[in-house]
Chains A and B, each alone.
Chain A
Amino acid sequence: MTILPKNEVNFEEEMGNYNFSAAKSLKLKNAMGYNTRRIVEEGICVSDLCIDGLEYLFQKRLLVKEEIDALILVTQSADYIMPPTSNIIQGHFDLKQDMICMDINQGCAGFIIGLLQAFMLLEQEEIKKVVLLNADVLSRKVSKRDRNSNPLIGDGASITIVEKINESKKIYANVKMDGTGASALMIPAGGFKLPSNSETSKMLEDIAGNFRSLENLVMKGDEVFNFVQREVPPMIEMLLQKANLKKEEIQYYMFHQPNKFMLNKLADKLEVSREKMPSNIVEKFGNSSGVSIPTAIVSNLNGNLIKENYLMCLAGFGVGLTWASMIIEIGNLTFCELKEF
Chain B
Amino acid sequence: MKERIIKILTDIRPEFDFTKKINFIENGMLDSFDIVSLVTALDEEFSISIDGMDILPGNFSSIDKIGELLNKKGIR
Contacts and interface: CB of A to CB of B under 8 A. Distances in A.
Interface of A: 20, 24, 27-28, 30-32, 147, 208, 221-222, 225-226, 228-230, 261-262, 265-266, 268-269
B16 to A, nearest CB: 13
A163 B13 CA distance: 55
14 contacts: A24-B12, A24-B37, A27-B12, A27-B40, A31-B37, A31-B40, A222-B32, A222-B57, A226-B55, A226-B56, A265-B55, A268-B51, A269-B52, A269-B53
Contacts of A230: 53
Nearest to B13: A24
A230 B36 CA distance: 17
B36 A32 contact: yes
B57 to A, nearest CB: 8
B49 interface: yes
B53 A31 contact: no
Nearest to A208: B31
B43 to A, nearest CB: 9
Nearest to B34: A24
Contacts of A261: 36, 39-40
Given A30-B40, A265-B55, A20 B33 contact: yes
Nearest to B41: A27
Contact of A24 (B32, B33, B51, B53): B33
Contacts of B36: 28, 31-32, 261
Interface string B22-42: 000000000111101101100
Contacts, number: 47
A334 to B, nearest CB: 38
Given A27-B12, A229-B53, A268-B49, A221 B32 contact: yes
B28 to A, nearest CB: 10
A208 B35 CA distance: 14
Contacts of B56: 226
Q: What are the 4 tightest A-B residue pairs by CB atom distance, in nearest-first order? A: A229-B52, A265-B52, A268-B49, A31-B40
B54 to A, nearest CB: 9
Contact of A28 (B33, B49, B52): B33
Nearest to B56: A226
A320 B27 CA distance: 33
B61 to A, nearest CB: 14
Contacts of A32: 36
Given A20-B33, A226-B56, A229-B53, 8 more contacts: A24-B37, A27-B37, A30-B40, A31-B40, A147-B33, A222-B57, A225-B52, A268-B51
A269 B56 CA distance: 16
A229 B55 contact: yes
A20 B40 CA distance: 18
A215 to B, nearest CB: 24
Contacts of B51: 229, 265, 268-269
A221 B55 CA distance: 12
A209 B14 CA distance: 20
A20 B12 CA distance: 12
A150 to B, nearest CB: 13
Interface in B50-70: 51-53, 55-57
Contacts of A228: 52
